[in-house]
Amino acid sequence: MPARGAGGRTAPARRRAPHPGSNLPRLVSELNLILIGPPGAGKGTQAENLQADFGLPYIATGDMMRAKRQEDSELGREIARVIAAGELVPDDVVCKVLLERVDAEGDDGFLLDGFPRTERQADVLDQALERRGRKLTAVLLIEAADDVIIQRLAGRRVCSNGHVYHVDFNRPKHEGVCDIDGTKLVQRDDDKPETIEKRLAVYHDETEPLVARYEEAGLLRSFDGTRPPEEVHRHIRATLAVLRLEEDL
């Protein structure tokens, strides 16, 4: 029986182009991916490449929360306060916007960054995918120790469209200007030393337990985030290629 969607809709079978050498269209093995790891491990950096490699919609709850904090509303102001303090936005708020985006753009696969960050968020995602007859393909853990993270975040610079640089490790061609869109590079206000410390503590307390959960589920793939970005990218790409082959067998 086909799976039922959230609104009682019947979820359509996902199909892709015919397999080479065959005339028959086949059911798709969609890539439903999560990037997980401490703040500053390099998730956004890797996501830029992976989006291009696999044509996946990139859904970063950090970007979504930064957009929401601009809203002139009680909620916008509360989100601004939470981000500046290095705390987490309430689960219900994040889950709602995340699921709306997945439903709007993630029909053929998705790349999540920064979600889930709590057990509750992971439960909500599992239940939502199950209701839609879908499942996660893999959870990509990018690992880096706290001292590396502190150095990374202190030197991170971003443009208004979310492209990421580092004052030492990933410098733009022209200082202070994004290579891709020419906009000004700035330091995020939560990349200040006191807030970095808080965000790391929140990661260890709230998010790190999810690593064991996904490992038990057989979904976890780990990558050494202290290697150069191109090397991390090659490893992830190779892992995803193997996963796809396994699904195709």
Cβ burial of 42 (10 Å; 0-12, 13-18, 19+) is buried
Is 206 strand, coil or helix? helix
Selection from ligand AMP, ligand ADP, none that 156 binds (CB < 5 to 8 A by kind) is ligand ADP
**Cβ closer to ligand ADP: 37 or 116?**
37
- Closer residue to ligand AMP, CB minimum distance, 61 or 137: 61
**Per CB under 6 A, which of residues 33..62 are in contact with ligand ADP?**
37, 39-45
Q: Report how far apart the first and last C-alpha atoms of the chain are (Å, whole number).
A: 23
Among 3, 82, 97, 150, binds ligand AMP (CB under 6 A): 82
At closest approach, how far in Å is the CB of 149 from ligand AMP?
Answer: 11
Binding positions for ligand AMP, 60-79, rule CB under 6 A: 61-62, 65
Residues 65-124 interacting with ligand ADP (rule: CB under 6 A)? none
What stretches of the chain adopt beta strand conformation (E)? 15-16, 26-27, 31-36, 58-60, 109-113, 138-143, 156-158, 164-166, 220-224
Task: State the residue for tokens 């990421």.
Answer: 164
User: What is the distance between the alpha carbons of residues 63 and 160, in angstroms, rounded to a whole number?
Assistant: 10
Residues that bind ligand ADP (CB under 6 A): 37, 39-45, 152, 155-156, 164-166, 169-170, 225, 228-229, 232
Active site residues: 43, 117, 156, 188, 199
